[in-house]
Chain A
């Protein structure tokens, strides 16, 4: 009897532990990161867009919107921070592979792909018992030791390049003419039948999830969509859903988005629109034909975002069907500012060059009625990019908010905040790794493959998502960036940035982002003490992260290409804006003819 009592007592004592363990095992959520390539801050409906994005909006309605989320200013740097949790100058993306400067070549941290010395998020999640899946764009290295399968993904279907056709393996330059894909660690000789990037990525991921669910392990899915990066390739059914809607022009659409953002509470009521970039024409002076053609570019972009949203919706529906939706964390954002540079013109726009010939051969299906088809190349340019980045200034590649700030949606069991919440805390893409490691119940290691690992650059979001803090950062914490020689630091409400002329001043500028998110007022001259204080942070950052400023950059000749910078003020010059004077009707008269004898 005594033995029985002892046994029962032990069972009673142990029961809470068993239950807790079981709960931990049972409750570990799936994780889905949806990364939209070049999608802008205001392109989701719940961030003020007129573009119809019901699936992403539903996630936002059920989760939290973050209005002060920072990525990097361009693609692979953001991805490298997402997957390594480290600053770009440490993780190998101190320079993009495509633009590594001569003085950065061969330097550690500037390899142009994700350093193999660092452990990755998928690797740690896999080690922690997660299935790890990736579909879509990788852009972090093509060699066998750098592909997704080598960096922690069990299953993958990946475009290794940074861009290319959505329909086939056509890539962008004469010397890099064929996109490279991998599937489950093997380089593909061809693409599956009926390939269309966004659809195929979604189908593949669904199949990975279904095939992996038998063992009951949670999964981590990195859904790195190519959309809506240019070229705007999209199925025929999605090309003509906004015909004529954008003829009203970028200024008008920006104003409409700003109004909606204020109504939604995304931005403060007193927010002004950033100045239109001075080389972007006032839409009101464009001829109807130009409006129609330029507007059509935005029509295509909107269709591409809607198609992306549709496939995100398919994934969500599937998770609901298999009973996994409620236990899945979604993290949705764009990887950098919207793309305002015409990459097609940059690569293939110079007659007489090899790439011009290549574009003539592979990318010249460019009648507007062909936009969206294979071999067409269209991007929407800086005017519409600023729309996507409403209310901010500039776009991808630059350090104004339009280059580095993006919309972030987090939903699922990770959040204890009220559904549909809006949070204004300062968040950073490097935060995602510590956040998800905490969710998975694992830790960042001190060593990986015998190599010491640097301290993570980000901060976990769980205190924010649990409602314990408004921001993962204190006023003392700061974030810093550098790519293409453009650089910035944000601490609290303040930000300094240095950008090459003529987009920047080739000098430091100071902004109060809380009061002036559109960065209209450079306060450097007014507030030299603050500038000095911030510059100390920059120096600290540059030293700690081995920042090597490039001696060549993609933007080095921009000043010679752009018109002289002038202020952009509505209605100026009056010469072309003054309307026809119409006299009062009762004062109108026929001319008095002169009678000649």
Chain B
């Protein structure tokens, strides 16, 4: 009896509520990975997510300093865990996301200048970063489940603002720190461009994020003042579903500018490219796992940024309505 009703009039079981929990993640732009693919897809307003991002980074610049000032002859190694929290809200009928991340972990550097080598390590909590993104062009805020079912990004353009709060651990006698001891943030305009149909298993997008980072002064960088010019960042992703719950992405990131000056000594401006890839897997309606690797490619000269990074991102998302449906389903 139930089956007849299900099949004849209501056959919608294949429309999994898994749709509600999408690639919601929290920005972590430390390291040359950018925000990552499928970050600016939209989901149901009222949705919460807790991401935990594990990163292993290596290179000739402090990966936790977004300006990525290159220190020739150095080798940085960082192991970081970055939990976060995000919520999707409607803002003037547009989809918006507020989020915060709190990086923590350890970083060490080996520096060799001539025959002199030094080793330094920093550990603890980094600067938390707040971010607000608001969609400008594209589907309106997803206020209910029908909106969610009908969501297709088409061509979407957002505006984002990020701000790091300099309360992370900082040792003014060490050039290596988890905290940055300065305000910094960015403004960007992420784009998601749907290519072809929007069917799980077939979704394809081109995504881009042009952004400008602004840095306040660090007035106590080993007793000196460090100024950093704005840095321009463009990241791009070509993403494609492999199956309904598995997708991949080719990732590209380009950094330019960000020239640091310590007292009167000017450093080099960046002009670097990183490429890499991401594999994403939706574990169930609530959980998503992404694995990424990115590496700089134009890095043969000493002053070039050399950096690579592995990243594993686990996201747990929930919405009270969906959870209620889960509970009812469990009671059947």
The answer to whether A binds B is: yes
Q: Are A288 and B7 in contact (CB under 8 A)?
A: no
Q: Are A382 and B8 in contact (CB under 8 A)?
A: yes
Q: Are A561 and B1 in contact (CB under 8 A)?
A: yes
Residues in B with CB closer than 8 Å to A58 are none
* Set A279, A281, A291, A381: member contacting B11, Cβ < 8 A: A381
Given A342-B8, A382-B8, A561-B1, do A369 and B145 touch, yes or no (CB 8 Å)? no
Q: Which residue among B7, B152, B202 has the maximum number of chain A CB atoms within 10 Å of its CB?
A: B7
Per-residue CB contact flags for chain A residues 215-252 toward chain B (1 = under 8 Å, else 0) read 00000000000000000000010000001100100000
* Set B8, B14, B197: member contacting A345, Cβ < 8 A: B8
Q: Are B5 and A563 in contact (CB under 8 A)?
A: yes
* Set B8, B10, B14, B152: member contacting A367, Cβ < 8 A: B14
Given A244-B146, A288-B146, do A369 and B198 touch, yes or no (CB 8 Å)? yes
Residues in A with CB closer than 8 Å to B197 are 236, 369-370, 373
Q: Are B12 and A367 in contact (CB under 8 A)?
A: no
Complex CA–CA separation, A369 to B201 (angstroms): 11
Residues in B with CB closer than 8 Å to A289 are 12, 15, 145-146, 149
Complex CA–CA separation, A340 to B9 (angstroms): 9
Residues in B with CB closer than 8 Å to A279 are 4-5, 8-9
Q: Are A369 and B152 in contact (CB under 8 A)?
A: yes
Q: Are B14 and A366 in contact (CB under 8 A)?
A: yes
- The verdict on A368 contacting chain B, using a C-beta distance below 8 Å, is yes
Q: Are B7 and A382 in contact (CB under 8 A)?
A: no
* Set A369, A373, A381: member contacting B8, Cβ < 8 A: A381
Q: Are A370 and B146 in contact (CB under 8 A)?
A: no
Per-residue CB contact flags for chain B residues 1-30 toward chain A (1 = under 8 Å, else 0) read 101110111111011000000000000000
Closest beta carbon of chain A to B26's beta carbon, Å: 27
- The verdict on A365 contacting chain B, using a C-beta distance below 8 Å, is yes
Complex CA–CA separation, A548 to B14 (angstroms): 42
Which residue on B lies nearest to A561, using beta carbons?
A: B4
Complex CA–CA separation, A280 to B10 (angstroms): 9
Per-residue CB contact flags for chain A residues 378-413 toward chain B (1 = under 8 Å, else 0) read 000111000000000000000000000000000000
User: B181-235: which residues lie under 8 A (CB-CB) from chain A?
Assistant: 197-202
Q: Are B146 and A383 in contact (CB under 8 A)?
A: no
Which residue on B lies nearest to A281, using beta carbons?
A: B9
Q: Are B9 and A383 in contact (CB under 8 A)?
A: yes
Per-residue CB contact flags for chain B residues 124-161 toward chain A (1 = under 8 Å, else 0) read 00000000000000000000111001101000000000
Q: Are B145 and A292 in contact (CB under 8 A)?
A: yes
Closest beta carbon of chain B to A398's beta carbon, Å: 14
Complex CA–CA separation, A34 to B11 (angstroms): 31
Which residue on A lies nearest to B16, using beta carbons?
A: A367
Complex CA–CA separation, A281 to B6 (angstroms): 11
- The verdict on A469 contacting chain B, using a C-beta distance below 8 Å, is no
Residues in B with CB closer than 8 Å to A119 are none
Complex CA–CA separation, A294 to B11 (angstroms): 8
- The verdict on A454 contacting chain B, using a C-beta distance below 8 Å, is no
Per-residue CB contact flags for chain A residues 347-366 toward chain B (1 = under 8 Å, else 0) read 00100000000000000011
Given A368-B149, A563-B5, do A294 and B10 touch, yes or no (CB 8 Å)? yes
Residues in B with CB closer than 8 Å to A367 are 14-15, 199-201, 244
Complex CA–CA separation, A366 to B10 (angstroms): 14
Complex CA–CA separation, A247 to B149 (angstroms): 13
- The verdict on A293 contacting chain B, using a C-beta distance below 8 Å, is yes
Q: Are A243 and B9 in contact (CB under 8 A)?
A: no
Q: Are A294 and B12 in contact (CB under 8 A)?
A: yes
Q: How large is the interface on B (under 10, 10 to 19, 20 to 34, 35 or more residues)?
A: 20 to 34
Which residue on B lies nearest to A381, using beta carbons?
A: B9
Q: Are A562 and B150 in contact (CB under 8 A)?
A: no
- The verdict on A341 contacting chain B, using a C-beta distance below 8 Å, is yes
- The verdict on A287 contacting chain B, using a C-beta distance below 8 Å, is yes
Q: Are A562 and B145 in contact (CB under 8 A)?
A: no
- The verdict on A290 contacting chain B, using a C-beta distance below 8 Å, is yes
Residues in A with CB closer than 8 Å to B201 are 367
Which residue on B lies nearest to A250, using beta carbons?
A: B9
Q: Are A365 and B10 in contact (CB under 8 A)?
A: no
Which residue on A lies nearest to B145, using beta carbons?
A: A289
* Set B7, B14, B144, B146: member contacting A342, Cβ < 8 A: B7
Which residue on B lies nearest to A239, using beta carbons?
A: B197
Which residue on B lies nearest to A380, using beta carbons?
A: B9
Residues in B with CB closer than 8 Å to A293 are 12, 15, 149
Per-residue CB contact flags for chain A residues 255-296 toward chain B (1 = under 8 Å, else 0) read 000000000000000000000000111000011111111101
Residues in A with CB closer than 8 Å to B152 are 369
Q: Are B11 and A342 in contact (CB under 8 A)?
A: yes
Which residue on A lies nearest to B200, using beta carbons?
A: A367
Given A288-B146, A369-B152, do A294 and B4 touch, yes or no (CB 8 Å)? no
Which residue on B lies nearest to A366, using beta carbons?
A: B14
Complex CA–CA separation, A492 to B182 (angstroms): 92
Q: Which residue among B14, B144, B146 has the maximum number of chain A CB atoms within 10 Å of its CB?
A: B146
Complex CA–CA separation, A247 to B144 (angstroms): 13
Q: Are A288 and B9 in contact (CB under 8 A)?
A: no
Closest beta carbon of chain A to B12's beta carbon, Å: 4
Given A287-B145, A373-B199, do A368 and B15 touch, yes or no (CB 8 Å)? yes
Residues in B with CB closer than 8 Å to A291 are 146
Complex CA–CA separation, A293 to B145 (angstroms): 10
Q: Are B146 and A292 in contact (CB under 8 A)?
A: yes
Residues in A with CB closer than 8 Å to B15 are 289, 293, 367-368
Residues in B with CB closer than 8 Å to A341 are 8
Which residue on B lies nearest to A349, using beta carbons?
A: B7
Residues in A with CB closer than 8 Å to B150 are 243-244, 292
Q: Are B199 and A369 in contact (CB under 8 A)?
A: yes
Closest beta carbon of chain A to B251's beta carbon, Å: 25
Closest beta carbon of chain B to A294's beta carbon, Å: 6
Q: Which residue among A244, A279, A289 has the maximum number of chain B CB atoms within 10 Å of its CB?
A: A289
Residues in B with CB closer than 8 Å to A290 are 10, 12
Which residue on A lies nearest to B148, using beta carbons?
A: A289
Residues in B with CB closer than 8 Å to A288 are 144-146
Complex CA–CA separation, A236 to B5 (angstroms): 29
Complex CA–CA separation, A86 to B152 (angstroms): 52
Q: Are B9 and A561 in contact (CB under 8 A)?
A: no
Residues in A with CB closer than 8 Å to B145 are 287-289, 292
Q: Are A345 and B199 in contact (CB under 8 A)?
A: no
Q: Are B7 and A563 in contact (CB under 8 A)?
A: no
Residues in A with CB closer than 8 Å to B12 are 289-290, 293-294, 368
* Set A292, A342, A383: member contacting B149, Cβ < 8 A: A292
Residues in A with CB closer than 8 Å to B146 are 244, 247, 288-289, 291-292
Residues in B with CB closer than 8 Å to A243 are 150
Which residue on B lies nearest to A295, using beta carbons?
A: B146
Supply 27 A–B pairs (Cβ within 8 Å), ascending by A.
A247-B146, A279-B5, A279-B9, A281-B5, A281-B10, A286-B10, A288-B145, A289-B145, A289-B146, A290-B10, A292-B149, A294-B9, A296-B149, A345-B7, A345-B11, A365-B199, A366-B14, A367-B14, A368-B12, A369-B152, A369-B199, A381-B9, A382-B8, A382-B9, A561-B1, A562-B1, A562-B4
Interface residues of B (CB under 8 A from A): 1, 3-5, 7-12, 14-15, 144-146, 149-150, 152, 197-202, 244
A-B CB proximity, top 5 nearest: A292-B146, A345-B7, A293-B12, A289-B145, A370-B199
Interface residues of A (CB under 8 A from B): 236, 243-244, 247, 279-281, 286-294, 296, 340-342, 345, 349, 365-370, 373, 381-383, 561-563
